[in-house]
Amino acid sequence: MDLKGKVAIVTGASRGIGKALASTAASLGINLAIAARQEGPLEKTADEIATKYKVQILPVACDVTKLEDLENLVNKTREKYGKIDILINNAGVSSQHPFEKQPLEDFEKLAHTNYLGYVRLIRLVINEMIERKSGAIINMVSGSTLCDPLPRNFIVYSSLKVGLRAFSKGLFWELRDHGIKVTSILPGVTDTDLTGKLKEITADTSRLMTTEAIENAVRFALTVPQNVCPLEIAVINQQTPWTSPVIPFKQAHPEK
Ligand SMILES: NC(=O)c1ccc[n+]([C@@H]2O[C@H](COP(=O)([O-])OP(=O)(O)OC[C@H]3O[C@@H](n4cnc5c(N)ncnc54)[C@H](OP(=O)(O)O)[C@@H]3O)[C@@H](O)[C@H]2O)c1
């Protein structure tokens, strides 16, 4: 599919996975609106990508937990480009605590950033995609949603990602007749600022992956034929604590 001249919003694009995905989209000729809270790093990223890929880039300071910021992001993008073809919902925060010690204020922040912000932004862009009978939505979920039970000390973060994953699948079924693709990306533990804060997971840094596999997954999702939708793509570390058995026990099989 020729993506040149398409328009994408990428949230959480000032650094980490979002920055890598904004660069990937730009390398495909897609014009961008990129969003994050801190203007300085966001503008620096916009300059870097614009210089390298010669696409148009609009940096918009936006806190995805605030509805008015999301509306402003969508309005500014439409004012500049007249349309939104692709939404890459990626902004996210993490929080690693045993549940009984997790600060109470964390719950609202996690829910508003990692779940509600995604759902609200999709709602704000979806009607024009339905009218045009085309569009692509990519939601950054998490490889932790593949674990059952969820990884210890991450149950609030991971359970919201489970909800996002379920929402994304449901959204695909609801929108597929309108020609809109909805893809969940499930990354493993990736070397970004977010994981830099996760002490136990990053104790052995050789387990971490770079953003490269995630970029390839998103490139794949955006370039498949129009009548196909990669519903979920998991790119998991070859070695990660989360994919080893969470409850080590020997299952007793009946003797033959
Ligand atoms: N790294 C991993 O191992 C991993 C694994 C699975 C899933 N993920 C998911 O991948 C996504 C990106 O993670 P990352 O590792 O790239 O994190 P990161 O390096 O910490 O980057 C997070 C990005 O999101 C922005 N952001 C945070 N809160 C925001 C808010 N309220 N409004 C707008 N922007 C906000 C940050 O900019 P500002 O601070 O300036 O707002 C930054 O651009 C997240 O959804 C995360 O849950 C990451």
- The whole-number pLDDT of residue 100 equals 96
User: pLDDT at position 195, please?
Assistant: 78
Mean pLDDT to the nearest integer, 211-215: 96
**Integer Cα distance of 13 and 20 in angstroms:** 8
Is the pLDDT score of 249 beyond 90? no
pLDDT reported for residue 208? 81
Amino acid at position 167, single letter: F
Banded pLDDT at 35 (limits 50, 70, 90) = very high
How far lies 196's CA from each of 55, 95, 191, 192, 193, in Å?
31, 12, 7, 6, 5
The protein residue whose alpha carbon is closest to atom 47 in ligand 1 is: 92
Confidence label for 246 from pLDDT (cuts 50, 70 and 90): very low
**Section 127-141 average pLDDT:** 97
% of residues, the chain, pLDDT over 90: 77
For range 131-152, the mean pLDDT:
94
For residue 157, indicate whether it is catalytic. yes
The mean pLDDT of the chain is 91
Residue 205 predicted with pLDDT over 90: no
Q: Which domains does the chain have, with CATH numbers?
A: 7-236 (3.40.50.720)
| Cα–Cα nearest to 186, from 125, 231, 248 | 231
Distance 99 CA to ligand 1 centre (A): 21
**What distance lies between CA 107 and its chain's CA centroid?**
19
Ligand 1 binding residues, C-beta < 6 A: 11-18, 35-38, 41, 62-65, 90-93, 113, 140, 142-143, 187, 189-190, 192-195
The closest-lying atom of ligand 1 relative to the alpha carbon of residue 198 is 3
* CA end-to-end span of the chain: 56
Mean of the pLDDT values across residues 209-231?
95
Residue 76: pLDDT band with limits 50, 70, 90: very high
Distance 72 CA to ligand 1 centre (A): 20
Note the pLDDT of residue 247: 43
Model confidence over 79-114: pLDDT tens digits?
Answer: 999 999 999 999 999 988 999 999 999 999 999 999
* Mean pLDDT of the 54-72 span: 98
Length of the chain: 256
pLDDT over 70 for what percent of the chain? 89
Question: Which of 37, 156, 208, 239 to mutate to test ligand 1, by most ligand atoms within 8 A of the CB atom?
Answer: 37
Rg, C-alpha atoms of the chain:
19
Confidence of residue 245 (pLDDT cuts 50, 70, 90): very low
DSSP line for 185-220: EEE-SB-SHHHHT-TTTTSSGGG-B-SHHHHHHHHH
pTM value is: 0.94
Residue where the block lists tokens 């299952």: 251
Edge-to-edge strands of the sheet including 86-89?
A: 57-61, 31-36, 7-11, 86-89, 135-140, 180-187, 232-235
Confidence at residue 43, expressed as pLDDT on a 0 to 100 scale: 98
User: Measured between alpha carbons, how far is 173 from 140 in angstroms, rounded to an integer?
Assistant: 18
- Give the confidence band of 125 by pLDDT, cuts at 50, 70, 90: very high
239 alpha-carbon distance from chain centroid: 22
Does the pLDDT of residue 203 top 90, yes or no? no
